[in-house]
Amino acid sequence: PNRQDDTEKMEKNLHEIMLRELKPNEAKIYKLLYIQNLSDQETAQKMGYTKENKNEGCIVIAKIKKVIISKVKQLRINGELDLTHEN
């Protein structure tokens, strides 16, 4: 297997673990940001935030991004998530 195949496997594994670990609303934002690769603004729009409440949407997304990063760190510390190419 080449390095790209390994990277794609790790990415798929990461997504599966994160979608399982996150709360439904967090998982929805995770999918939009990290699987569909939408911007924060596009994600806010998909989540139903409008120009009138865009700031609120950005705040919610920023908080959930922090939750996602914290979860990844915790999963790595606990040994539940290995992001090396040696799997």
Does 87 score more than 50 pLDDT? no
Distance separating alpha carbons of residues 47 and 67, to the nearest angstrom: 17
User: pLDDT tier at 84 (50, 70, 90 boundaries)?
Assistant: low
Distance separating alpha carbons of residues 85 and 87, to the nearest angstrom: 6
Residue position matching structure tokens 């609120």:
56
> Mean pLDDT over residues 79-87, rounded?
66
Q: For the segment 22-49, what is each residue's pLDDT rounded down to a tens digit? A: 999 999 999 999 999 999 989 999 999 8
Entry pTM? 0.83
The pLDDT value given to residue 86: 52
